[in-house]
Amino acid sequence: MKLRLSVAGLLACVLLAVTSCTKNFEKYNTDNTGLQPSQFSAALIFQGIQTALFGEEGNYQLDQNLNADCYSGYMMSPDPFRGNINNLTYSLVDGWNQQVFSDAYTISMFDINYIAAVGTKASQPDFWAIALILKVETMDRVTDKYGPIAYSAVGKSVTATPYDSQQSVYNQFFLELDTAVTSLNTYIKANPGATPFQKYDLVYNGDYTKWLKFANSLRLRLAMHLTKIDAVTAQAQAEKALDPTNGGLMSVPSDDAGISGGGYHNPLFVITTSWTDISLGAPLQTYMTGYNDPRLPVYASPVVTNPKTAGALPATYAGQYIGIRIGSLITAKPSYNSYSTLNPTTAVSSSSPMIMMTAAEVWFLKAEAALRGWPNAGNAQTDYNTGIQTSMAQWGVSPGNYITDATSTQAAYTDPTNSANSSPALSTATIAWNAGATNEQNLERIITQKWLAMFPEGQEAWTEYRRTGYPKLFPVVTNNSNGTIDSQIQIRRLAYPQAEYTSNGAAVKAAVQLLGGPDNGGTRVWWDVAKANF
Amino acid sequence: MKKILPLILLVPCLALGANNHHNPISSTSFTTVGISQNVTNATPVKGVVKDETGTTLPGVSVVIKGTTTGTQTDANGKFSLNANPGDVLVFSYVGYTKKEVIVANQTNFTIVLSSDSKSLNEVVVTALGIKKSEKSLTYSTDQVSGKELTDVPTDNLMNSLNGKLSGVTITPSASGVGGSAKVILRGNKSVAGGNQPLYVIDGIPISNGSNSNGQPNSTYGTAVGQGGGGIASTNQDGGDGISNLNPDDIESITVLKGASAAALYGSQAQNGVILITTKKGKAGKAVINFSSSFTADKIAYQPQFQNTYGQSPTAATQSWGPKLTSSAPDNLSQFFQTGTNFTNSINISGGSEMAQTYFSYANTTAAGVEPGNKLSRNNINLRETGHFLNNKLTLDANVNYVAQNVDNSPGLGFYLNPLTGLYLFPRGQNITPYKTQFELPAVAGGNGAPTQNWPFNEDVQQNPWWITNRDPNTSNRNRTIINATAKYDITSWLSIQARGIDDRTYDTYQQDLYAGTIGVLSKANGQFLLTNQLNEHKYADMLITFSVPGKSDFKLDGILGGSITDDHVDGTNIGPDVNNNYNGNGLIIPNVFVPQNLDVAADGSPVQNLQAVHNQDQALFANANLSYKNWAYLTVTARNDWSSELAYTPNESYFYPSAGLSLILSQMLALPTDISYAKIRGTYAQVGNTVSIPYATDPLTHFGTGGVTLNSVAPFPLLKPERTNSFELGTDLRFFADKLSASFTYYKSNTTDQAIAILPAFTTSFSKGYLNAGNIQNSGVEFTLGYEAIHTTNFSWNTSFNGSANRNKVLDVDSKAGIPQVVLTPNNNNSYESILATGGSYNDIYGVTFKRDSQGRILIGAGGAPETNNGYNYLGNPDPKFQLGWENNIKYKNFNFEFLVDGKFGGQVLSLTQAVMDQYGVSEASGAARNAGGVKINGVNATTGVPVTSVDPYTWYSTVGGRAGISENYMYSATVVRLREASLGYTVPFTSGAIKSLRFSLIGRNLIYFYKKAPFDPEVTMSTGNGLSGVDVFNQPATRNYGLSLNATF
C-alpha cells in the first residue's frame, strides 16, 4: 500500500511538472487547417481572384444580378424580395449592395495586395501584369456602380481608408494597363510561346497574346466611358488601344474573355434553376422578339405552363417568350415563375463561361470610335456588321438576313398577368446600318446591337446605357426610392454601404463631396454627364 | 516565471513522496482496524430514530464507527445490532445531520436527527470543491438540493433551476427535446467570449460543449449564401454538455454568482460557477432508490389565425383572397403531437466505513411535440470512495458514461423549418392531403427520385412533413467522464490533494436532405452533411491545504495550488466542399447518404478537417483565510495564469487578486434576541479571461479555390486577456429563532479589455479584425427571503421569495478607435439585428423603424405605404428588468404540495413569426384589419401633410410585415408571469416489507401563464449563444408538461 501510494503520488506530480510548460503554446494556437506563407506560392491565389470577379451564385446575386443585370434590361427577378421593396423597385437594399464592396475589397484587392507584397512585381512581371489586368477589370465594375472608391490606399490601415475621385481611379487604371501591356509585350518577345500562367488561368489557358488583346480591349472600353466627361483622354486612350504595335484587340470569338473551369461554375445557372430567382427582362425580350433575333432561343427559355403550379400562366402562352418588366408589382413568387427564364442549357449552362468581354463588343466599340472619327478605328458600318456577325458566331447561330433587316423594331410589351406593366415599344431603331442616318441614330443602332451582343454581362450594359441612353429601356413600374431616383432618368448609381459610414465615416463623407451630389441612386457618377452624345 | 512553474509544482510532490515513505502512522492504522474487527463479546443494542417533529425515520444508516458493522432502521425507524460498550454508533441519513452516540451501559436508544437544511447553510461547497463555513464566506451563494432538480424532471436539468435562484437567468432553447439551456449569472459580460458559467463536478471543471453545430446565429437558421453550394452548416441546436447528466446523481448544486466566488477557478469562471456535488456511496447496508416519471407535453399556445379570408387569387401563397364560405380547417393540430418524457433511474449505495460504492443507471426516452423529434439517453455512473491508512488517505474515483441520441432536432429560423409552411399555408385550404402524401412519384425524365408535394416555390417554406420525413437529422453523443481524487492528511493541519478529470465527448451529426428539397438548401439529387467531433477536456490540480494550529483568537488557514486545463476539439466534416462551392448534383445517386456518393468537383474534397481548437491554461493560485474569534473573517486569493491562447503575443501570463471580509454582527455585538443571526460581507475581485479566438494572433491562409484562399483577417498580435473587476456587498439575517431568513446583495462588475471582433470598413480590404477595448458594466441587487410559516407535526408550510434586478450597460465599445458598435447577430437582410453599442445594453434588438414627423405620426408615402428610416435602429432590449420567484412547500401528514410561481418583468421581444404571418394575411390581426376596413394608424401623408388614420390592410401588412418589413411594429412586452412548476405528492406509510418508502407525485411544469402579452413565450430562445436574443423566428412553441412520478427506496 505504501509503495503504491508513493508511486501514484509521484506519477501525478511528474505528470503535472512535465506538462507544466508553455513551450507547446504556439503549437496549440496554430491553425491545423492553415498554410504557412512558406508552404504555398502566390500564383495559387490567381484562381481565387478570377472566380471572385463574378463570384459564386450567392455573391453574384448580390454583386450584380439584383442590380446591374436588371437595370440593364437583360433580366428581372420573379421573386418579391423584401415584400417587393428592393433594388428592383428602386428601394436600395444596403445589405445586398454592400456585397459588391465585400467581394471586391476583402477578396480581390486583398489578394492583389498580397501578390504585390510578396514581390511578384519584380520576380514575375508577367504574373504581375495579369494581376493588374484583373485588378482593373474588377475595380472598374465597382467604380462604375458607385463613383469615387477607395483604390490607391487600400490595405494600408485596418481602421480608415480614404477614397479616390473616379477620375483619379480611371487614370490609375490606364497607368496600370500601361504597365501590364509593357510587361506582357516584353515577356512575349523574350519567351515566345511560353505559357507559365497556364496552370492558374481560367480565361486564356496561359496564352499571353490573348491577355494582351484583352488588356488593350479593356482600355478601349474604359476610354469610351469618358466620351462625355473628357473627350481628349477618351480619344487618346482609344488611340493607344487601337495602335496595333501595342498588341492588338480582341477580334474573333476565340479571343473572348470569360471565366470557367477550375471548379467554377456559372452562377446564373444556379440562380436560374435551383433558386428560380431570375427571369428574362421585358426589354431584352421585346427587342429580340421585335428583331426576330436568332440568339433569343440561346439566351432564353420560353414560357412553360403547368396547371398544377400555383399562379402559372395559362397554357395558351406556352412556348412564347415573355419577360418581366422591372418594378412590376410582384406579390408572391409563383405569380411570375412561369415567365421566360435564361436558358440554362445554353447561354447560362453550368459550364458556360462568365463573360467579361467579347470580341463582338470590341467591334462595336470600334464602330463608335469610327463614328466619332477617331483614327485607326476603321469603317463604322464594317465594324458594326462584323460585331453582329461575331456575336452570332459566338453563340453558334446563323445571322440569316438579320444584318440587312431595315424594318424590324422593338416589339411592344404585354404582361399577361397585369396590364399595368404593359408598354408600347420605346425604340424605332432598326437593325440595318444606314449611312444616311444621323450620328445619334447610328449610335443608338451600335449601342443597341452591342447590348444584344454583350448579354449576359449586365454591368457593362448598364454603364453604357447610362452613358449613351441606349437601348431605350422601360422605366420601373413601381418606384420606392422616396423621390431620390427619377423613374424616367432611371437609376444612375448605387449608394455606398452603411458599413462604410460606420467604420470609415470620414473617408466616405469626403467621397460624397467628390461625388458632388447626395449619396443615393439618383446622383450621376463622374463620367455620366447629362448632355447630348454628340 | 515560465520556468518557475514546474518547480513549484514539484514542491508538493517532494512533500508527498517524503511522507509516503516515512510516515509511521500508516502502520498503526492497520492495527486500529484490526482491533475493532476482532469483536467477540458484543451485546445487542436497539433503538428508534426520529426527526425533530417526532416522525420515525426509516432507512437511517447505523454503523459502528471504524468498522464495517452496521444496519439500517426499518420502516418504523427501529434498529438493532450488536455492539460493545465504548463503541461509537454513527447515524446518518440524507438531509439530516450526522449524529454520533457512544454505547455505554444503555441498550435502548431514542435518537433524534435534526434536519440539515440549516447545516447546509453552515457548510458551503466553494471553489475547488472546498467546504467552508457559511459564516466565513465574503460573498453570496445559492444552494439547491438534488431533490429540487428531480421533483419535476425535465430533459435539461438546468431548466429545473429556473425561477429558483436570484441573479440567475435561465432561458431554455426552442429546440425541442435534447435542447440547450442558456444560463446567465448577473448579466452578460463578454462580447466575443462565452457568457455562460463554468460547470464544476465535485470540485473539478467539466466541459459544457455542444456538437459541431453549436448554436445558430442567423434569422435564417442555416448559414446564408451556402444554399446553392450545398449545406455548410445547419440550424439545429447542438445540445449542451450539462444536459447530459443524470439529475438523480446530484446531491446538491451551489451557484457562485460573482467573480469573487470564482476567483480561484480563473479564466473560465469569469461568468460564475455552477458547482455540482454528486452522490457518494454511504456506509451501511445497501440502499436502493428507484424513481420513475412520465410527462406528457403539449404546446402551450399557438399563433392566432384569421378564419375569414382565403387564398389570394394572384399570389397563391398568400391569404389575401375573398371571404371564405366555410370556416377554415385547423391545420396546426394536424402537425403538432403530444410529446412524452419517460425517465427511469435506479441507484444503489452502500459500503463500509472504509469503502463506499455508489452506482446508478438512468434511462430517458422522450419525444417532442414536432413529429420525429426524439431523445434517448442512458447514463451509467459508478463511484468508489475508499479510506486508507487510518483514514489519512482518501481515494475517490468516478466513472460516468452517457450515450445520447437526438433525432430530428427541430429547425429554427426561416429555413428548413416545418413551422413556416405550416403557419403560412393559405387559410381555408386543408393541409391534410400534404400530410398524407408529402411526396409525389418521380417525374418522367427526372432523376428517378420522388418529388416534394407542395404547391409553392419559396425559399421560406416547404411541406412540413417533407421536412420531418425527408430532411432528417441525427445527433449522437458518447461521453465518458472519468475523475479521481487522492487526498492525504500529512498532519492534522496539513493535507495534500491531487485530482484529475478526463471528460471526453464524441459527437456525430448527420443531416440528410432528400432530392426534392428546395433548391436554396439542397441539390438536384439531394445533399448531406456528416460531422464527427471529439471534444476532450482534461484538468488536473494539486492543492496543499493548511490550517495553522494553535489556540489563538486568530486562526489562519489556506491553500496553495497549481492546475492545468487542456481543452481540445477536433474532427472532420464530410459533405459539400465549402472551399470549392461546386454546383453539381449534390449526390451521384439520389437519396443515398454515404460519403462515397457525394458529387464533388474534380479538384474538390468532400472531407475536411474541422479547425481544431486546442487551449491550455496553466495556473498557480493561493488562498489565505484569517479569522478572529469566529466573528471576523478575511479572505484573500491570488492567481496567475499562463494561457496558450496568448501564444504569439508578448505576454502569455497574467495575474489577478481578490479580497473579502465578513463580520458576524450577532456574535460581535449584543443584538436584540429576535435577531438570531446577522452578518455583513463585502468582497472585491478581479478575474482575467483569455477569450478563445483561435489563431487570432497568427491567422493563416486556407485551402480553397484554385489551391489557396487568403485569410483576410487582420492579425492581432497584441491580444490581451479581458478582465472583470467586481465588488459586492451584502448581508445575511435570520430572525425569530431562524424562522425568518433574509439575504441581500448589491454587486457591480466591469468587464474591460474585451477581445472585440470588429468588421473593418470593406475598403480596408480586411474582412475581420480584433481589438482589445470595451467596458461592459453589470450592476444589480439580489434578495432572498425565507419563512417557515407553519411548522407542526402534521402540517407545515415553508415559503420563500427570491428576486433580482440587473442593469447591463455598455459603457464603451472602442471610442479610441472610433468604433461605436459590435454586431452580435447580423441582419442578413432581415429586419432583426443584435447590436452591442456604446450607451446601449447587451442583447439590444435593432430593426427597421417607421419614419415619423415631429408629432410622432407615421409618414405615409406615395403608394399609401409607410416610409421607413434608413438602416437599423434601436427597438428594445429583451432582458428582464426584474425577476421574482415564489416557492412554496406545504406538507400535510403524508401529502406534500409544492409550487413555484415566477415572473420576469420588463424587456421587449420581437416576433418575426407574426410579421411574416401578417404579410401572408394568415394572422388574426390581418383578418381583423380587413373586417374593420383598414389598419387604424396615427399617420400623415408625407407629401401633402394630410393626416392618415386608416391604411388598406394589404398595403400596410405587405410593407410592415414580412421578414424584411418594419420590425418596430412587432415588438412586444417580454413580461411573463407563470406557474412554473407544481407537484402534489403522497408518501405511502409503509410499516414493513422490502419497500422502505414509496412516494407518488402528480407533477406539472409551465402550467399557467398568469401574464403574457407577446405572441410567443418570451423566455424561449432561438440560440443559447451570444446572438439571437429576444427574437422569435418560427420557433417551436413552448410546451406545457403534466405527469406522474414515483420514488421508491428499498
CB contact under 8 A, B711 and A28: no
Of B654, B765, B870, B919, which to mutate for an interface test with A (greatest number of A Cβ within 10 Å)?
Answer: B765
Burial B253-282 (b: 16+ CB within 10 A, else e): bbbbbbbbbbbbbbbbbbbbbbbbbbbbbb
CB contact under 8 A, B540 and A16: yes
pLDDT tens-digit readout, B535-571:
999 999 999 999 988 788 899 999 999 999 999 999 9
For residue B278, is pLDDT > 70?
yes
Q: How does strand B88-92 pair with strand B99-102?
A: antiparallel
Better-scored residue on pLDDT, B152 or B230: B152
CA distance A247 to A244: 6
Which of A13, A30, A40 is opposite residue B16, by nearest beta carbon?
A: A13
Better-scored residue on pLDDT, B866 or B579: B866
Q: What is the pLDDT of residue B579?
A: 63
For residue B308, is pLDDT > 70?
yes
Contacts of A152 in chain B (CB under 8 A): none
pLDDT tens-digit readout, B323-332:
999 888 999 9
**Chain B CA closest to residue A500:** B761
Better-scored residue on pLDDT, B611 or A436: A436
Nine-digit cell at B878? 429583451
Q: Is B580 an interface residue toward A (CB < 8 Å)?
A: yes
pLDDT interval class at B586 (50, 70, 90): confident
Q: Is B534 an interface residue toward A (CB < 8 Å)?
A: no
Task: Kindly report which listed range (B404-408, B787-791, B887-891) carries the lowest average pLDDT score.
Answer: B787-791
Of A14, A15, A16, which to mutate for an interface test with B (greatest number of B Cβ within 10 Å)?
Answer: A16
Better-scored residue on pLDDT, A423 or B264: A423
Q: What is the pLDDT of residue B41?
A: 61
Q: Does this complex have an ipTM over 0.85?
A: yes
Average pLDDT over every residue of B62-71: 80
Distance from CA of B868 to the nearest CA of A (A): 10
Q: What is the DSSP letter of A105?
A: I
Most confident residue range from A33-42, A175-184, B651-660, B748-757: A175-184
Better-scored residue on pLDDT, A262 or A15: A262
Cis peptide before A399 (omega within 30 of 0): no
**Chain A CA closest to residue B516:** A274
Q: What is the pLDDT of residue B223?
A: 52
Nine-digit cell at A361? 463588343
Q: What is the pLDDT of residue B18?
A: 36
Q: What is the pLDDT of residue A431?
A: 97
HEC readout, B537-560: EEEEEEEEEEECCCCCCEEEEEEE
CA distance B193 to B210: 15
Q: What is the pLDDT of residue B34?
A: 33
pLDDT interval class at B258 (50, 70, 90): confident
**Chain B CA closest to residue A59:** B225
CB contact under 8 A, B764 and A157: yes
Q: What is the pLDDT of residue B233?
A: 59
pLDDT interval class at B762 (50, 70, 90): very high
pLDDT tens-digit readout, B922-964:
999 999 999 999 999 999 998 899 999 999 999 999 889 999 8
Q: Is A507 an interface residue toward B (CB < 8 Å)?
A: yes
For residue A296, is pLDDT > 90?
yes
Q: Is B392 an interface residue toward A (CB < 8 Å)?
A: no
For residue B228, is pLDDT > 60?
no
CA distance B101 to B113: 12
Contacts of A1 in chain B (CB under 8 A): 26, 388-389
Which of A33, A111, A263 is opposite residue B702, by nearest beta carbon?
A: A33
Average pLDDT over every residue of A231-242: 97
What rounded mean pLDDT belongs to chain B?
86
Contacts of A113 in chain B (CB under 8 A): 765
Q: What is the pLDDT of residue B10?
A: 40
Q: How does strand B204-205 pair with strand B722-735?
A: unpaired
pLDDT interval class at B315 (50, 70, 90): low
Q: What is the DSSP letter of B324?
A: P
Percent over 90 (pLDDT), chain B: 47
pLDDT interval class at B12 (50, 70, 90): very low
What rounded mean pLDDT belongs to chain A?
92
pLDDT interval class at B119 (50, 70, 90): very low
Distance from CA of B614 to the nearest CA of A (A): 5
Cis peptide before B216 (omega within 30 of 0): no
pLDDT interval class at B991 (50, 70, 90): low
Three-class secondary structure of residue B282 per DSSP:
coil
For residue B681, is pLDDT > 90?
yes
Average pLDDT over every residue of A288-307: 92
pLDDT tens-digit readout, B784-820:
999 998 888 889 999 999 999 999 999 998 888 777 8
Contacts of B769 in chain A (CB under 8 A): 158
pLDDT interval class at A34 (50, 70, 90): confident
Other Cβ atoms less than 10 A from the Cβ of A517: the count is: 14
Average pLDDT over every residue of B56-78: 80
HEC readout, A315-379: HHHCCCCCCECCCCCCCCHHHHCCCCEECCCCCCCCCCCEEEECHHHHHHHHHHHHHCCCCCCCC
B325 class by beta-carbon count within 10 Å (0-12 exposed, 13-18 middle, 19+ buried):
exposed
For residue A311, is pLDDT > 60?
yes
CA distance B75 to B241: 39
Average pLDDT over every residue of B214-239: 64
CB contact under 8 A, A21 and B5: yes
The CA-atom distances, in angstroms, between A446 and each of A226, A473, B570, B1005 are 17, 15, 60, 75
Q: Do B211 and B531 form a contact (C-beta atoms < 8 A)?
A: yes
pLDDT interval class at B757 (50, 70, 90): confident
For residue B11, is pLDDT > 70?
no
Other Cβ atoms less than 10 A from the Cβ of A314: the count is: 11
Contacts of A485 in chain B (CB under 8 A): none
Q: Is A97 an interface residue toward B (CB < 8 Å)?
A: no
pLDDT tens-digit readout, B507-541:
999 999 999 988 878 888 998 888 899 999 999 99
Chain A (470-499) residues lying within 8 Å, Cβ to Cβ, of chain B: 478, 480, 482, 497-499
Other Cβ atoms less than 10 A from the Cβ of B435: the count is: 17
For residue B915, is pLDDT > 90?
yes
Task: Collect all residues with Cβ–Cβ distance below 8 Å to A187 and sequence separation of at least 6.
Answer: A125, A126, A129, A194, A208
Q: Is A20 an interface residue toward B (CB < 8 Å)?
A: yes
Contacts of B692 in chain A (CB under 8 A): none
Task: Kindly report which listed range (B195-199, B280-284, B301-305, B831-835) carries the lowest average pLDDT score.
Answer: B280-284
For residue A308, is pLDDT > 90?
no
Most confident residue range from A203-212, B286-295, B712-721: A203-212
CA distance B293 to B342: 6
Contacts of B700 in chain A (CB under 8 A): 30-31, 34-36
Distance from CA of A500 to the nearest CA of B (A): 5
Task: Kindly report which listed range (A201-205, B717-721, B793-797, B844-848) carries the lowest average pLDDT score.
Answer: B717-721
Of A6, A66, A106, A339, which to mutate for an interface test with B (greatest number of B Cβ within 10 Å)?
Answer: A106
